[in-house]
Structure 1
Amino acid sequence: METQLVEAIEKSLLTGQWIDPGSGHETLPHIDVIKSVVEGSFSHALKSPTAGRVFALRPIKTSDIVDGPISSWLDLPEAQDIETEVLRLGYAVACLHAFLQANWTGPDLQVQYADFLPFSPETAEAATEELLDRKAVSELSYGGEPAYHLARGPLFLRFAQILLALPYSRCSTAPWWSLRTWLVHQQVLDEPVAVPDSVFSSLHPLIPAVSSDRDLLGQLHLEQGLLEHRLSNNKSAADYFARAARATGLEYELSGALGRRTRFQQSDVSQLVLLAESRPRGESPPRESNSAIASKDAREPDGPSAGATKLPESLALNDDTLLEQTKFTSSQAADGSITSRLGHLDPAAQPALHPLDQCILLSLCLNVKNTSPAHGLTNEEMSAFVNRVIAHPANWSVHTMALLLRSRLEATRTRTVERSTLQLQALVDQMPTADSSVSERLLYIHDIPLPSRWELERELALQYISLGVTKSALAIFERLEMWEEVVKCWQSMERPDKGVAIVRDLLEGRKAEADVVLSRGKESTSHRRGFLDAAREAKLWCLLGDLEPANAINHYNRAWSISGEKSGRAMRSLGGYHFSRGEYARAISCLRRAVAINPLLHRSWFVLGCACIREEDWETARQAFSRCVAIDDEDGESWNNLASVYLRMEEAGQKPVANDEDAERDMGAPADEEKPAPSVPFSNKMLAFRALKQGIKYRYDDWRMWYNYMIVSMDVGELSEACRALGRIVEERAGKDGAKCVDEVVLERLVDAVTRDPTDVQAGATGGQDVAAAHAATSGLFRILMDLFERTILPRVSSFRIFRAYAKLLTWQSRWEEALKAYLDSYRCSTAGTIEKGETDVGKWREAVGEVEEIVDLLRNFGPRVDGSKWQLQARSIVRTFIGRTKDFEDEPEWERLTSLLEELRKED
């Protein structure tokens, strides 16, 4: 085969559009098969005699069918020619897309395994569709996570995996199809599981090869991002999505334009809008038009004719207040005339986007969801992305995904929840219909996170539960055999006994799942049945352990044993069981196994980290919380715990700081006064500071995290950040705690940092620039600190030490009148200013005498510097008032000091 022909075939498979390889190749059998795959006629390809070259079976016995791995059935010698490689790649794509058609896009698949697997008469009776499905589901279980057992045609996905695992020395796009297969496989598992590093690394040589085709390069980056998103690597996913947009030339930006959102709105206000424009793609027909080209030969795809395409219906809102869509009254965005590259676009009449660019926008919308709070402007941002795609439907699957995202966004709003539910039901109902061609539905299926049929129905059932329609949800869950959700439904209906009974019936054989019913009566031993159902049976035992706490540990151990020590769920459950009972060492042992099986589950790492903190295993705790924030960098609690661990580790990260002072300074528990921890290395303090700085972005209202951040900021010399943290604490706690919310020690240290002698600043500086920098830093901190006092603290709370600190700051600025007023305010909050008649505590009175003498000295020093000040009158009034309130202490030695002071003030007048 010519290299040019192979490249045309590989590109046809990737793009879903048949590229004519040129004259002279039309009669080749493999060309006809590949063309069938591209056009979605999988039954034609799989029933072709050419399929025998790929799905040739070795001489096998019935026992091999029942007990042997599926890969051992096929005779797949090393490919000696490029034609064999191309055929294997083509049939791998056919199997993958057949599985997607059966479970994602519909309509129902019109092909059976027997159509292309030439079993001998001796083995054909044993190799039933049901047995093959069960074996495939069993082998699709991966990383301790079971595959969904009611997936249709799972053997197709397994064959795609087997064929793509073969070596391909001539077909350069095989790693790309491996990436697509992994992405589909992840969605079949109960929980996402880490993929081998080779899945991404094997794609690196492919990037230069496709870089000449901007759309292909954009697709590659987009699909890498979707897999990263599935694995919760959101930062990496965002990077890939941005690369995809750059590759395809998509221009987009969020902006504002005047418009109206309700029927009764009288004036225009700024509305959020996404401006987006695809790059010009010349005069070649857009890829979506492929679905409108009728097939010219006698071969029919597995669905309707291509000319019968009908896009999913977008249901009307039918609300008496909200408009169907925002009505923009401005023909230009708010910033369009200034800096925007898309300022020429009319928000109300934007051009249609290429379907691939629509896929990128929907993926960017997912990224907005993952990096921002789930309320407020974020929903509006996501709606802007989705509405931009819905406005110009171009492809069946892409439009379905956009409607699904809109349904999710509208599910939480009273005025839109009805359309949300009805739209979701409509999307479920359209799957088995024949309103569009298979090739149309599969064209962009790898470029959008469209859920499977069962996940879509599960989402509908969960929405029913949110609306209180629990019985309808229960019916869906029972049909899908999602027993965990079934149990939750019975619990919400206050019938937990029904849930327990269902699980026990399943385990004891009184109630059977659909595939077990189909295979019952066939010749298979109980041992074989147990092997085939091991993953699901282990999950059921874990579920029973959740329902029966008294016997939980036995049920979890049994699940672990049945799974062959592969069930991550069993170890997660055991670890949680031991942790809840304070058995931290056992919890650590179980959770270590759980994260080794499936390292992508955030909760397992978090509980492991907490258990390690209790056991003072700081290094493992650091690793655990580091993985938590790597999986979910919005987890503020994990950032806080990671900072706590850093403050308890030695420089090497191995030994804990074991002293009482550090124990008292437990993170999240404010101390009455600051206690230094000299044994904590500065590098660890800086790591803790950075962790807390990241964490407070996502726990902005958590005053405890702000307190921790304030203390660590002081330790590492980030005084401006300490000011900011103290301000947030006051904002959050002033209404409940009053002046106690202010850490007065920290406040006084901040004031000292500003007001210290300038010679102290210069002492640590070696040159003029260093001195200037030190003065600039002091000046900047002064402005921040003054703002903290005047805008945040003093309008809310007051105390003696707060006013004294404020007065000291004003004195440093030579603002004598304001400083004197602040000192007088501090006196009114002091013991002397608040003492009442009838006080009997001598110690308190003596303290107050000292405060009276101090304020008089301050009046003597500052009063003459204030124009028009009547400081003598103020001083006499203070002393006279205090004497009048405390006549009961006339016999005390200090009384004479007060009378002498009053006499001196009279003479000074």
Structure 2
Amino acid sequence: MAITTQTALLVEKSLIEGKWRSEIDEFTAQLPIELAHLVVDGKFSQVLEHKEGRRFFQSPSSLNSSRSGRINDLLSPFAQGLEAELTRLAVAVACLHSFIQVNWTGPALDIKPVELLSDNSALTEEDLNRQSIEELCYGSEPAYHLAQVPTLFRLAQLLLEQPYDHITTIDWWRLRASSLHQHLLDEPVAFPTNILPHVDQLIKHLDGEPDLQGRLWIERGIAHHLVGSDTIAGENFINAARATGLQYEVSGALGRRTKFQHDAVTQLVLLAESRKRNDTVIDATSNDEEKPAVSEKPMQAEQKKDMPEALLLNDDTLLEHTKFTASSASAGALSHIDPQAQPALDPLDQCILLSLCLNVKNTSPVHGLTSEQMYAYVARVLSHPKNWTVYTMALLLRSRLEAKRTRTVERSTFQLQALIDQMPTSDSTLSERLLYFHSLILPSKWEMERELAVRYLSLGVVRSALDIFERLEMWEETVQCWQSLEKPEKGIAIVRDLLEGRKQEADVVLQRGKTTLEPQRPKLDKAREAKLWCLLGDLEKDKALEHYERAWEVSGGSSARSARSLGGYHFAQGNFKKAIPYLRRATQINPLYSRTWFVLGCTYIRTEEWVEAKMCFLRCVEIDQEDAESWSNLASMYLRMGEAGEKVELGSEDVPAEGEEEPKPEDKEALAGAIPFSNKLLAFRALKQGLRFSYENWRMWNNHMIVAVDVGELAEACRALGRVVEERAERDGESCVDMAVLERLVNAVTRVANNTVDGEDVRAARQNPNEGHGLKRRVTDLFTRIVLPRISNSARIWRMWARLLVWEGKWGEALDAHMNAYRAAVVSDERVEVDLENWKEAVGEVEEIVELMRNLGPRAAEEGKGGMKDWKFQAKSVVRTFMGRTKANFGDEPEWERLTELLVELRRAE
């Protein structure tokens, strides 16, 4: 019986899900379906050793011990047709999952790639590994050279790259292979451009398969996460939750977190519920699915059967889990869920929560709330162990969260070590471990060990970290450890030994106790060698240029790392014209490395090429939307360009980029007149976006304030001025207030008539946030909450505040504000008593405050507010006090007569 398209599609879905569909059982005698069934069951060696599987491989003479040829030469010519393509797909998936088994999930693999070849006498495992690692270099980024059986992954890539006319899900597998490839590379590299559009088409064809749709949304989100597009990744994860019908809500519920806590307080909790499914999922605790997770110890006992070991905290204060006392934590659709006894979630929904948990970290600032939110997601998954890989990922995330808390850092480190140790074990089936592997971002063995070494470094255990880095042959981190131990010469020696081919042989000599070197080790691939030359250049500053040029030469002009190093070196030396070609080449090789774009943009600034600089900073913020410095520099570029992108001839008068000096006050009018309004508006938006990720950067706030005033966004200017004062007042005092901007804000409020009649004009004025009543609340808050509590000795600020109070009709408070201005300008100024010019100015201040008392005093008295009910007495006291204070030095001056006449006039008015 021939395999129909419908049957083939069911087989494809089984391969994707890792679960065999019972509808296909009647076709299992067919060879492609038999091989697919073996793949789903995790019996990869049987597939690869099957005679049909071995037909895909050969042993050509071109790939032999002379180290020439490519892995592609190992593949035999392919047959076409549905059954042939289905067989090829099964073999490709077997190769891919075998690679995952060895490097991610364990246990050990029982087959070697060289054994698959029809005639393996001319080839060795080392030949295959060397050539595979070299071919897995992508975007100039080297692949990790100690990855096991890389040949199987390379073969899987090559098989999946072949044309498929009958396989619907081939682009899904290509996406999986590309995501896996990212784990092998030193830095993220852009995905092939033809993958994601085809995947999007596949999502549309999965209607009626909610779990499959959810899987694809997750994996699409993971792909974006791996290249740093966290916002898009988050949208994909939310779409996955919608597809699977997962309901979740972050809420608060009364509970206790410590053993000695008597009163329950609000704790963060994630409420979640899966949709009801009819199918049966591989589940280690399925018989207890509806049992509430109230008891801690029974759960620990259950998971020892076939789940990773979750270490107990054993703390004298903290509870193992938050103990909730409230029976409900929500008033919405999940109000029926008890926080202490939530229902078990489907493992796929657990994958979605863990992905969302990652997105909380990637799209939020680093503060306590983020950690608490992430812990709520992780705790919800840990409460019901359902799958080995999902539970492993949840424990890993918990370990990361606990690494920064003193009471949990010990368990965090031991838990990470336990997760590494469990991989070679056989405590669960291989098929279960692979079931949800592609729906998670589980690190490889070497990535987890590297994470453990970094954890040791953070704890100050440098030697243990050094041992791990040396064993993993992560030489850059090894060198950093030697520098931390204040022995940089040892790091330099390691790099030189590697470049000169002595490093491996030196180890062999030590092991064998010999005094002579053995034959030469295999040659490094060019990507790794170029990286080592760059590392040596970083270490030997006096020979840096020589080493960087050597790296560029070794790579044949294809190493982004060496291009970055050469560009950075010339930039540091001030040779900007020389730096640009190297930096441009680095961005062409690996366009996802945002720092290269940033340095290139700064180089264009130095050469005054504003349009090119703008494009560089645009790329920076496309790659990393949280790069506040790039947003700031992007705004600066908009303010340096005309409508057509030409240079604005203002010198340094425009709003500065990060780290530059501020514009002088007298230059701001020139700035406003020379730059097109459209560019100002773009600069305003760029700064507003950047400030979301650099809230404490007062320079950016200051630039934002100036541009906001220029585009008429006075509400934003008010907010920005407040932030500048909050950040600078303690250090700089009155000088931190931009008086011109503050004056502009007060004018914008007071130029609108303060009409108390609730007419159409007044309602419109209240709706406009940039003038009149609409702006008044913000400006009032700026004075009362931010400026005046911090700066109380500025006469100019008190006068502006008084003008605002007069506009509001608050006569008594306005008169008090004017008195505070007088005290700041005259009473607290000791120069008034000794300096003639200051004394003459003070006489004018005295006359002015008396005149204000005459005008506002009666109104304040009628109002019954303020301290000026007896304003005439207060006015006389002001004049007498000033005259008594300055008579000794200035009693003979002509202005003295004015003061005398003023005092007589006040007495007559009584």
Q: Could you state the TM-score of these two structures normalised by the residue count of structure 1?
A: 0.91
Contact 1:65 1:127 in 2 (8 A): no
Aligned to 1:98: 98
Aligned to 2:902: 901
3-state SS, counterpart of residue 203 of structure 1: helix
Q: Distance in 1 between matches of 2:77 and 2:173?
A: 19
1:347–1:582 distance in 2 versus 1, CA, 3 Å: same
3-state SS, counterpart of residue 866 of structure 1: helix
1:114–1:866 distance in 2 versus 1, CA, 3 Å: closer
Q: Structure 1 stretch 622-631 or stretch 501-510: which is displaced more?
A: 622-631
Q: Structure 1 stretch 662-671 or stretch 778-787: which is displaced more?
A: 662-671
Aligned to 2:854: 860
CA apart distance, 1:672: 6.0
Q: Distance in 1 between matches of 2:491 and 2:479?
A: 4
CA apart distance, 1:791: 1.8
Q: Distance in 1 between matches of 2:429 and 2:731?
A: 64
1:860–1:468 distance in 2 versus 1, CA, 3 Å: same
Q: Distance in 2 between matches of 1:154 and 1:276?
A: 40
Q: Structure 1 stretch 12-21 or stretch 534-543: which is displaced more?
A: 12-21
Contact 1:719 1:750 in 2 (8 A): yes
3-state SS, counterpart of residue 310 of structure 1: coil
Deviations 1:52-91, CA, capped at 9 Å, x for gaps: 332256x5445697322221342334x4311111111111
Q: Distance in 1 between matches of 2:229 and 2:606?
A: 29
CA apart distance, 1:845: 2.2
3-state SS, counterpart of residue 233 of structure 2: helix
1:422–1:838 distance in 2 versus 1, CA, 3 Å: closer
1:757–1:585 distance in 2 versus 1, CA, 3 Å: same
3-state SS, counterpart of residue 353 of structure 1: coil
Q: Which amino acid aligns with 1:171?
A: I
Q: Distance in 1 between matches of 2:277 and 2:39?
A: 26
1:66-85 equivalences in 2 (<5 Å): 66-77=67-78, 79-85=79-85
CA apart distance, 1:882: 2.2
Q: Which amino acid aligns with 2:828?
A: T
1:114 and 2:114 matched? yes
Q: Distance in 2 between matches of 1:657 and 1:148?
A: 50
Aligned to 1:575: 567
1:180 and 2:176 matched? yes
CA apart distance, 1:367: 0.2
1:462-473 equivalences in 2 (<5 Å): 462-473=454-465
Deviations 1:466-485, CA, capped at 9 Å, x for gaps: 11211111111111111111
1:97-246 equivalences in 2 (<5 Å): 97-119=97-119, 124-246=120-242
Deviations 1:119-150, CA, capped at 9 Å, x for gaps: 3xxxx333111100100000000001000000
3-state SS, counterpart of residue 323 of structure 2: strand
1:622 and 2:614 matched? yes
Selected match of 2:780 from 766, 772, 786: 786
Contact 2:38 2:47 in 1 (8 A): yes
1:565–1:838 distance in 2 versus 1, CA, 3 Å: closer
CA apart distance, 1:195: 1.2
CA apart distance, 1:671: 5.0
Aligned to 1:8: 10
1:26 and 2:28 matched? yes
Aligned to 1:304: none
Aligned to 2:516: none
Selected match of 2:357 from 352, 365, 368: 365
3-state SS, counterpart of residue 319 of structure 2: strand
Q: Distance in 2 between matches of 1:645 and 1:99?
A: 48
Selected match of 2:328 from 302, 310, 332: 332
Aligned to 1:425: 417
Contact 2:95 2:152 in 1 (8 A): yes
Aligned to 1:658: 650
Q: Distance in 1 between matches of 2:531 and 2:658?
A: 38
Which segments of 5 or more consecutive residues in structure 2 lack a partner in the other structure?
A: 288-302, 510-518, 863-868
Q: Distance in 2 between matches of 1:74 and 1:665?
A: 55
Selected match of 1:736 from 723, 731, 741: 731
1:824-843 equivalences in 2 (<5 Å): 824-830=819-825, 832-836=826-830, 839-843=833-837
Contact 2:628 2:693 in 1 (8 A): yes
Q: Structure 1 stretch 675-684 or stretch 202-211: which is displaced more?
A: 202-211
Q: Distance in 1 between matches of 2:197 and 2:399?
A: 36
1:693–1:280 distance in 2 versus 1, CA, 3 Å: same
CA apart distance, 1:813: 1.4
1:545-584 equivalences in 2 (<5 Å): 545-584=537-576
Selected match of 1:17 from 19, 22, 29: 19
3-state SS, counterpart of residue 252 of structure 1: strand
3-state SS, counterpart of residue 654 of structure 2: helix
Q: Which amino acid aligns with 1:10?
A: E
CA apart distance, 1:355: 0.5
Q: Which amino acid aligns with 1:478?
A: E
1:807 and 2:802 matched? yes
1:792–1:766 distance in 2 versus 1, CA, 3 Å: closer
Q: Distance in 1 between matches of 2:543 and 2:591?
A: 27
Deviations 1:312-347, CA, capped at 9 Å, x for gaps: 0100000000001101111111xx2x3x21111010
Contact 2:766 2:774 in 1 (8 A): no
Q: Which amino acid aligns with 1:845?
A: W
Q: Distance in 1 between matches of 2:526 and 2:18?
A: 38
Which segments of 5 or more consecutive residues in structure 1 lack a partner in the other structure?
A: 293-306, 518-524
- Aligned length in residues: 870
1:429-578 equivalences in 2 (<5 Å): 429-512=421-504, 530=523, 533-578=525-570
3-state SS, counterpart of residue 255 of structure 1: strand
Q: Could you state the TM-score of these two structures normalised by the residue count of structure 2?
A: 0.91
Aligned to 2:637: 645
Contact 2:769 2:775 in 1 (8 A): no
1:359-398 equivalences in 2 (<5 Å): 359-398=351-390
Aligned to 1:298: none
CA apart distance, 1:27: 2.4
Q: Which amino acid aligns with 1:719?
A: L
Q: Distance in 2 between matches of 1:590 and 1:847?
A: 63
3-state SS, counterpart of residue 574 of structure 2: coil
Deviations 1:818-858, CA, capped at 9 Å, x for gaps: 1111111111111x333437844332222222222221221
CA apart distance, 1:661: 3.0
Deviations 1:472-531, CA, capped at 9 Å, x for gaps: 1111111111111111111111111111111111111221289999xxxxxxx99x955x
Contact 1:309 1:437 in 2 (8 A): no
CA apart distance, 1:767: 9.2
Contact 1:291 1:309 in 2 (8 A): no
Q: Which amino acid aligns with 1:746?
A: V
3-state SS, counterpart of residue 633 of structure 1: coil
Aligned to 1:261: 257
Deviations 1:541-560, CA, capped at 9 Å, x for gaps: 11111110000111111111
3-state SS, counterpart of residue 211 of structure 1: coil
Q: Distance in 1 between matches of 2:904 and 2:761?
A: 54
1:757–1:243 distance in 2 versus 1, CA, 3 Å: closer
Q: Structure 1 stretch 571-580 or stretch 397-406: which is displaced more?
A: 571-580
1:239-318 equivalences in 2 (<5 Å): 239-282=235-278, 284-288=279-283, 310-318=306-314
Q: Which amino acid aligns with 1:577?
A: Y
Contact 2:850 2:875 in 1 (8 A): yes
Q: Distance in 2 between matches of 1:780 and 1:268?
A: 43
Contact 1:477 1:485 in 2 (8 A): yes
Q: Which amino acid aligns with 1:893?
A: P
Contact 1:820 1:862 in 2 (8 A): yes
Name the % identity.
56
Q: Distance in 1 between matches of 2:282 and 2:239?
A: 21
Greater relative contact order: 1 or 2 (C-alpha under 8 angstroms, separation 6 or more)?
1
CA apart distance, 1:400: 0.5
Selected match of 1:356 from 348, 366, 377: 348
Q: Structure 1 stretch 628-637 or stretch 7-16: which is displaced more?
A: 628-637
CA apart distance, 1:812: 0.8
Deviations 1:778-799, CA, capped at 9 Å, x for gaps: 2121121112211222222121
Contact 2:144 2:186 in 1 (8 A): yes
Deviations 1:234-276, CA, capped at 9 Å, x for gaps: 1110010000000000000111111100011011001111000
